[in-house]
Chains A and B, each alone.
Chain A
Amino acid sequence: MVETILNRTQMLGRATLDGFARLGRASLFLLEVLSNLGGMLKRPGLLIKQLFSVGVQTLIIIVVAGLFVGMVMALQSYYALVDFGAENSVSVMVVLSLLRELGPVITALLFAGRAGSALTAEIGLMKTTEQLSGMEMMAVNPIERIVAPRFLAGVIAMPLLAAIFSAVGVMGGYLVAVELLGLDAGAFWSQAQENVELIDDLGNGMIKSLVFGVVVSWIAVFEGYDCIPTSEGLGQATTRTVVYGSLAILVLDFVLTALMFGK
């Protein structure tokens, strides 16, 4: 009995220490990536290629998701507001929820699932097949050539994708509210224009998605670079990217919302 308790305590202690060691490694890794951004920028082609891979290729899923989220938001807002005769405020609810919350958060969650997992798998497979070691032995720094462009592309792509998500979401909301439910188009746009602040709403949403971009890209490239170089290790690393990335987004969203919109 005592032995079991001791073993459990020991396991808990070891897991905690391992967790902190990993966090330390991840932080040092991030510093190394940041210090190599300058060198990477001398070869803009690397960044452009990755922007296409993590940004453009994620666009379809973002557009489709944004459209339907906007449409659902409009429907739900209409059903809630029509009882109070406030259906003309549908656009305010749609636009504010998209800009402040849904745009950055859902984009980041989709990004972690689509682009984040792909980044981890790609870097992890390069490690497993010794391509990263091969580069090191060719006197080429894999952090600069492989990791840094992918990280920066993720950081740049996330706010742009979130902006596109929100814009398409608003269009979806317009389609439902004006074209389907017959609300006045002028009221839809003027209500939105009156109640949305550039800095407080749009700006804060963009800051959120920038923070999510840094965190999700950091987790994705670190998990790939740090994975155990076996097929099982690679699978686990990819799963961790999606799980840790999604949890980090949700926790950070709460923290950022509290900081930005708290009175």
Chain B
Amino acid sequence: MSETLVKIRGLTFSRGNNLIFDNVDMDIPRKGITAIMGPSGTGKTTLLKLIGGQLQPDSGSIEVDGQNIHQLKTRELYELRKRMGMLFQSGALLTDLSVFENVAYPIREHTRLSESMIRQLVLMKLNAVGLRGARDLEPAELSGGMSRRVSMARAIALDPMMIMYDEPFTGQDPISMGVLVKLIKSLNDALNFCSIVVSHDVRETMSIADYVYLISAGTVVEHGTPEAITNSESEWTRQFIKGLADGPVPFHVKATPLLDDLLTTAERKRG
């Protein structure tokens, strides 16, 4: 069995005239936490949707567990997705079902287990994310962090080979963030599978990642272990990791000199 679970080769994807990925190569290992980081709007979520087969690339290939995901028939794709979990930024819980039923949903859909067995499984999954006591709540009664934890329990309901996290830390208070960081790490250690974390929260992501890809402007800027990324010589990487206001990504958007601009405006008004 190959050590690489997700193999991306020559991936090119655009929306209209906007090129999101330009000939990107990536190898995501079968075990461990791989972080994909980059500034907002670089297409990190799009990359997850491409890996999940929800979007079609312009060219290039994405293999998941040896299968080219964009050449699969619908039925084969759905079979593969049963082994792929995904945590959406919003949690994406079904709002007309309780917490318990949300976690039970994929089990009910894809297995013929007895009701008592489903109950045991759901309670175990909810216990793993610390929300066994919230099983009767409705999604509307949950905080953002709790929604994501329920979504995590649902994502691991069918014991997948991988789980993709889309911006799991965005908009969380420090306690919720700490809980999510710990959960991603502990789930990965306990289930010994592949976790792909897409995020721009550098400190939290780097603290749990085994391998990091930095993407920007449609290409992989750098990749390596968190230590290698932290000690990188690249100015762009240093700016991103340390959150510096100015650097290769300038503070000012490209414009004519300020004085010229001010004078031109004044003359135009006078004219």
Contacts and interface: CB of A to CB of B under 8 A. Distances in A.
A138 B106 contact: yes
Given A131-B93, A131-B94, A138 B109 contact: yes
A43 to B, nearest CB: 10
Interface stretch (B7-15, B76-84, B119-127, B211-219): B76-84
A144 B26 CA distance: 34
Interface string A125-147: 01001110111111111000000
A133 B154 CA distance: 14
B105 interface: yes
A28 to B, nearest CB: 14
B40 interface: no
Interface residue tally on B, bucketed by range = 20 to 34
B94 to A, nearest CB: 6
A131 B95 contact: yes
Contacts of B86: 134, 137
A133 B105 contact: no
Contacts of B191: none
B92 interface: yes
Interface residues on A, range: 10 to 19
A140 B110 CA distance: 9
Nearest to A138: B106
A137 B51 CA distance: 11
Given A136-B54, A137-B86, A140-B106, A131 B92 contact: yes
A131 B147 CA distance: 13
Contacts of A133: 49, 54, 88, 92
B32 interface: no
Nearest to B89: A130
B38 interface: no
B239 interface: no
Nearest to B151: A134
Which residue among B81, B92, B95, B105 has the maximum number of chain A CB atoms within 10 Å of its CB?
Answer: B92
Contacts of A126: 95
B78 A139 contact: yes
A138 B105 contact: yes
A134 to B, nearest CB: 3
B90 interface: yes
A134 B105 CA distance: 11
Contact of A134 (B78, B92, B110): B92
Given A133-B92, A135-B94, 11 more contacts: A129-B90, A129-B95, A130-B88, A131-B92, A134-B86, A136-B52, A136-B54, A137-B86, A138-B106, A138-B109, A139-B110
The 7 nearest A-B residue pairs measured at CB: A134-B92, A130-B92, A139-B81, A139-B78, A137-B86, A130-B88, A138-B106
Interface of B: 49, 52, 54, 78-79, 81-82, 84-86, 88-90, 92-95, 105-106, 109-110, 151, 154
28 contacts: A126-B95, A129-B90, A129-B95, A130-B90, A130-B92, A131-B92, A134-B92, A134-B93, A134-B151, A135-B94, A136-B52, A136-B54, A136-B81, A137-B52, A137-B54, A137-B85, A137-B86, A138-B81, A138-B82, A138-B105, A138-B109, A139-B81, A139-B82, A139-B106, A139-B109, A139-B110, A140-B105, A140-B109
